[in-house]
Amino acid sequence: MTFSLSVSSAVLEEDELDPATVLAGEPRMFSTVLHEDGTVQRGIWEITPGTVTDVEADEIFTVLTGRATITVEDGPTLEVGPGDVGVFTEGARTTWTVHETLRKVYQITL
């Protein structure tokens, strides 16, 4: 599968956010999977301002828009914004404090 698209104007579908993961605000999540083949998943993900917890997958991502502080339990605190690349190890427990709606492209190893 070969294609290109404008990530900034891509239409994303709203994902259900588990209320137990929301620590502050009223964040909403959106995403679309661009490609998945059983070994990797590639897509676009967006979250609006607020604070949420998550358990991460084996992932590399690039932030396109927005800003967030990501605190990794027993690890670093990451300040991410446009142009930043991040890597998570599977199972990392994180707290995302989203300051401005954040949109990223990602690849997860399944």
pLDDT tens digits, 22-40: 999 999 999 999 999 999 9
pLDDT digits (tens, 9 = 90+) for 48-105: 999 999 999 999 999 999 999 999 999 999 999 999 999 999 999 999 999 999 999 9
Q: Which listed CATH number (2.60.120.10, 3.40.30.10, 3.30.450.20, 3.40.50.720) goes with 13-109? A: 2.60.120.10
Its pTM surpasses 0.85:
yes
Query: Contact 33/41 with Cβ under 8 angstroms?
Result: yes
**Residue 1 pLDDT greater than 90, yes or no:** no
Query: Per-residue confidence at 12, pLDDT binned at 50, 70, 90?
Result: very high
* Secondary structure of residue 37 in the 3-state scheme: coil
Give dist(CA 107, CA 33) in Å, integer.
Answer: 10
Segments making up each domain of the chain, as ranges: 13-109
Strands of the chain, DSSP E: 13-15, 22-24, 29-36, 40-47, 50-55, 58-72, 77-80, 85-88, 93-109
